[in-house]
Structure 1
Amino acid sequence: MAQTESNSQSKSKTGGQRAGNARSQTRKTSEKAQRKAGPAGGNGPSPVQPVTSLVEDYKGIARAFAENPVVMRPCNLDGHARRLHVRATIIEDHAVRIDQQSQGAEEKFKKLSESLFKFFRGTSLLFHRDMAGDDERMPTVLVLGDVHPENFGVMPNADNVPIFGVNDFDDVLYGPFTWDLKRGVTGFMIASEEVGGHKKKTRRKIASRFVKGYRAGMEYYSRHNTEATEQMREDNSPKIIRKLFDEAEESRKEWLWDRYLDETGRGFRANEELTPISSRLDEFQAYVDKLAGQNEIARDGRAGKLRVKDVAMRHGQGTASLGLPRYYCLIEGPAGDATDDLILEFKRARRSALDGLVPKHDFDAGQEGDRIAHGQSVHLAKGDVFYGSVEIDGESFMSRERAPFREDIDLDELSKKSWKHYAEACGHALAQAHARSDDAGQLDYRIEPRILEAMEPFGLFVDDMLCFAEEAVERMRRDHAFYKRDLEMGAFDMTLKRYR
């Protein structure tokens, strides 16, 4: 998840020249008021203030671009101006982690420097600000927001049966369906070059198969109207995905004892990944009880009586969300012998990276944890029943179940042919997620025919997606070079401040 973390919001702007004039006048008024109030240290304002979030400013840019496409956006910047934009956006995106000196902040910044694909995965806000206001005419769906080859995988459904589909809902928001395709095509191009080692021609073929898989899936659901209930399981999935199911097979008992349980089986082990916080047992029992009530989870099923055995902080997980608070709850299973326990995850939820950037629409996915839970319920047919939202320490957290068969693809093991098959399967899975926007989501008309119409002529549509991605990749190469240079010079050690 790569969203802005700043808690304070800047004043809303309308975009264009009027926004510039308004900011200038506000600054003059503020400076005049400060001079009247006297020097710092007396009763006047502090001479140092944190730089506020630019979310509202980008809302103005997105609106202005949708109405008047001659408005300049960050993607048009180059040279040092672009470097400053990259630096400021990454600092804003990680403001809370930097100010709180979060344990994972330094680790994440180092991780982003290691490869272009990791940088792409961890800077969704930077990527989507370049798209502010794009595709205003295109059909609206509940977009995933962060589509790339490693955000598809095997996970548990409502019956604890493994299924394949989209698996990261941190950035979900209603917006043009093309936003997910653009992000996905770019992700496949970067990954197939960096991980797969493929040349330009092959990369284009792999990325185009993702788009073709999407259209084939949309055509299928347009004809059969089965997106509301259909699931990609081991028995009905493509060969490339069936292999993933095979790799995901692991007994729950072995999974628990090999990775999580202490020598007694009554709690979490303590290591570099897990820090038990058993003193908060009653607190998290209340969160689990609330979640069970919200989702109508029975207390006589595979989760037993939903009794919390232990709680731990989880460290070092994720790419975009690395450094954000994350907790694991150990739930006693029906057997009571530590062989069928469940693990629930509570992860800090934040603003979607697409918030304020997508063109204006009539739909509201909700806020923070509620928005993420809505995304999972829309995108997956009969998905994980533990997806939900709770408030911990005054902050919004999303919840979900960890499972022994949760598995992502190993991209470095794919052959050239397998890359194409995998891209096509991911495109089909994304099509189902989008097609469910009029079944489980808020759309009040059939979306599939509109999307198919908007993709015509299809050859031109594919070429537009590929050209967008190629430009985005080259821009990202430059951004990554700027980032690595800034990281070495300490640019991300502290948040930006505004001085009198």
Structure 2
Amino acid sequence: MDTDLESATRTELLRRAREQDVPGRSSMTKDQLVDALTSGDSGDGAASEGASSDGAASDSASSDGVRGDGSRPVHSRVEAFRLLAEARARGEMVLIPRMLTGNDRRVHVRETVREDHETRIATGDLEARAKFDKLAGSVFHFFRGTNLLFYRDLVGEDARLPTVLALGDVHPGNFGVMPSSDNVPIFSVNDFDDAYYAPFTWDLKRGAVGFMLGAAEKSDLSPKKQRAIARRFVRGYVSGIASYAADGQEQTEQLRMDNAPPLIAELLASTLETSRAEWLEDLLEETRRGFRTDEELVPVSSRREEFQEIVDRYVAENEVAVPERAGRMRVKDVAERRGAGTASLGLTRYYVLIAGVRDDGTDDLLLEFKRARRSALAGLVPPSGYEVDKQGDRIRHAQRVHLVDGDVFYGSVDIDGHSCMVRERAPFRDDISLGSLSTSEWKEYAGICGRVLAHTHAMSDETGKVDYDVEPAILEAIGGRDLFVDDVLRFAEEAAERIRRDHEYFVADHELGAFRSVDVVYR
């Protein structure tokens, strides 16, 4: 065996494995990496997803931009940005996209949006067009729906800082109510689609920008008030990290009605006002045997047997502890769900009706199967050695790390060759009405969300892959709190202004039909 390999660090082994395109490398132990590099084999039980595990754009067919149908290659900058991230992480002085101005920036915005939505544009997906219309009508929606654009501006940034399992898409709309393992409402982060191991500041920077843009658009608050709200978010995070460093209570903490702050307790209570039977009435036809048909739900009952096999496989592969209320996990009906989401609008998702224990169908369960996107952070974060290859598995991993006793149905499964995430839709899945918040409530909500984010980061070394004590490391990296908070706020103000300009470029290009085709490579 190569003695150089035996003495190498896991990060060095991962680098070599990436160069040799060893499949499933990020899920391997150090010994498995050594074996794979020595023998050229991938090791037993290693997950494999080929080139997509290193990609950045959510829709791209592969990291080299080659279309799976053999047609002309699609222009891709995934590999270029991966190399840029590594160079910047090494401390090299390099040009990054946020330094671009004028026409150069406008072209960069256009190319990134096209690349990020390559599949949806190329197939003429009507929901993709609806998404672009939605983004054109709102700066906040544009921010929410162009995550790749945001993170390419951070490429390789903050490499010296502690790594956590970042949520990847922090903004005031991605905190909310969802079911716990006990089927009661809890409040926490609720969208894990872009979760990825990254410097802890990446979530803070996006979150601060999100609170500024959200407060501006939803409540028309002044720049001074936007800054004050973002400050509460960052300070809530810092105080949360300090608290978990001191008492170590993150492994048992949940926000429920009995312990939540009044603003959140009121939200949790409101979700219980609608019973499951009443909630199902809006989704099912009168006999309760299947889904109704409308512009949002398109029943595909002919696939019921197929989805029964998928559900059975999902339960087995995810080792789901099926609760009594789910009976035998019998599939009653299947429907395609249309028009949902912002970033994920246009991606295939299904609603699957699972029979409850009552014969009248008033206690049936609803599972959502949604095609998993590649994280917008992939290939852009500083190399850290902490990765999860397969997209659905990555999202499942994040939910299980970030939430204490969360939704037991959260998992992943392959459907039609695509990695999909699975979760329960519940009558008490909800989020706060941002437009109804007063200035003081915005500040309170921001502080609460900052602490919730701190809780998710604190779990990175408990149930996640981080192998050192996260909270003390973050506090040490933060140093002087006033300076740290000011640094994040100054970044956020500049980023918010840049996003507003980018939105103007996007709107102008959208009106000229820029997003009806993708960038291809000509010879």
Deviations, residues 171-191 of structure 1 (Å, cap 9, x unaligned):
011010000000000000111
2:221 is aligned to: 198
For the 8 Å contact 2:59–2:118, the answer to whether it is kept is yes
* Paired residue secondary structure (2:497): helix
Which is further off, 283-292 or 474-483? 283-292
Tell me which amino acid in the other structure corresponds to 1:364.
Answer: E
What TM-score, normalized to structure 2? 0.87
Q: Per the alignment, do residues 9 and 295 of structure 1 end up closer, same or farther by CA in structure 2, a change over 3 Å counting?
A: closer
* Match 2:391 to one of 363, 368, 376: 368
Residues in 2 aligned to 1:309 and 1:340: alpha-carbon distance in whole angstroms? 13
Residues in 2 aligned to 1:184 and 1:438: alpha-carbon distance in whole angstroms? 22
Deviations, residues 238-286 of structure 1 (Å, cap 9, x unaligned):
11111211221221000001x2111111000010000000111111111
For the 8 Å contact 2:136–2:507, the answer to whether it is kept is yes
2:338 is aligned to: 315
* Match 2:62 to one of 8, 33, 38: 8
Residues in 1 aligned to 2:183 and 2:306: alpha-carbon distance in whole angstroms? 26
Q: CA deviation at 1:158?
A: 0.9
* Paired residue secondary structure (1:400): strand
2:210 is aligned to: 187
* Match 1:166 to one of 184, 189, 195: 189
Which is further off, 359-368 or 308-317? 359-368
Deviations, residues 41-100 of structure 1 (Å, cap 9, x unaligned):
xxxxx9x82323221111011111112341001111111111110000000000110111
2:139 is the counterpart of 1:139:
no
* Paired residue secondary structure (1:50): coil
Residues in 2 aligned to 1:115 and 1:325: alpha-carbon distance in whole angstroms? 24
* Paired residue secondary structure (1:420): helix
What TM-score, normalized to structure 1? 0.91
The residue correspondences of 1:444-463 to structure 2 (distance < 5 A) are: 444-463=467-486
2:358 is aligned to: 335
* Paired residue secondary structure (2:350): strand
For the 8 Å contact 1:9–1:52, the answer to whether it is kept is no
2:305 is the counterpart of 1:251:
no
User: Equivalent pairs: percent with the same residue?
Assistant: 56
2:101 is the counterpart of 1:78:
yes
2:241 is aligned to: 218
Tell me which amino acid in the other structure corresponds to 1:460.
Answer: L
Q: CA deviation at 1:483?
A: 0.3
For the 8 Å contact 2:460–2:466, the answer to whether it is kept is yes
1:497 is aligned to: 520
Aligned residues: CA RMSD:
1.4
Paired positions, count: 463
2:94 is the counterpart of 1:94:
no
1:63 is aligned to: 86
Residues in 2 aligned to 1:234 and 1:300: alpha-carbon distance in whole angstroms? 22
Q: Per the alignment, do residues 361 and 211 of structure 1 end up closer, same or farther by CA in structure 2, a change over 3 Å counting?
A: same
Deviations, residues 175-208 of structure 1 (Å, cap 9, x unaligned):
1000000000000011111112111211111001
* Match 2:415 to one of 384, 389, 392: 392
Deviations, residues 292-345 of structure 1 (Å, cap 9, x unaligned):
223333456111111000000000000000011000000000112111000000
* Paired residue secondary structure (2:135): helix
* Match 1:235 to one of 215, 240, 258: 258
For the 8 Å contact 2:396–2:412, the answer to whether it is kept is yes
Moved over 4 A (4+): none
Residues in 2 aligned to 1:182 and 1:56: alpha-carbon distance in whole angstroms? 24
Deviations, residues 408-430 of structure 1 (Å, cap 9, x unaligned):
11100000100000000000110
Residues in 2 aligned to 1:451 and 1:112: alpha-carbon distance in whole angstroms? 35
* Paired residue secondary structure (2:219): coil
Tell me which amino acid in the other structure corresponds to 2:256.
Answer: R
Q: CA deviation at 1:218?
A: 1.0
Tell me which amino acid in the other structure corresponds to 1:9.
Answer: S
* Match 2:318 to one of 295, 299, 304: 295
